[in-house]
Amino acid sequence: LVLYYKVSVEDRARSSHDMSLAIMTTAQVIALFQMIGVTATLSVSWEDPIRSLIRCVQLFNFDVEILQIECLSGPSVLTLYIGKLMVVPLGLLLLSIIHIIAATTVFKGRFKETIYALYGSCGMLVMGFFIAISIAILAPFQCSQHPNGKWTILQYESQLCWESGDHLIMLLLGVVALSIPVGFL
Which residues partner with 57 through β-bridges? none
pTM of the model: 0.69
Give CA torsion, residues 48, 51, 52, 54, to 10 deg: 150
- The answer to whether 136 touches 130, Cβ cutoff 8 Å, is no
- The answer to whether 86 touches 78, Cβ cutoff 8 Å, is no
Residue-wise pLDDT for 54-72, tens only, equals: 777 776 665 555 555 555 5
Report residue 83 CA to chain centroid gap: 11
Residue-wise pLDDT for 76-102, tens only, equals: 888 888 888 888 888 889 988 988 888
Question: Which pLDDT value is given to residue 114?
Answer: 81
Three-state secondary structure call for residue 151 = strand
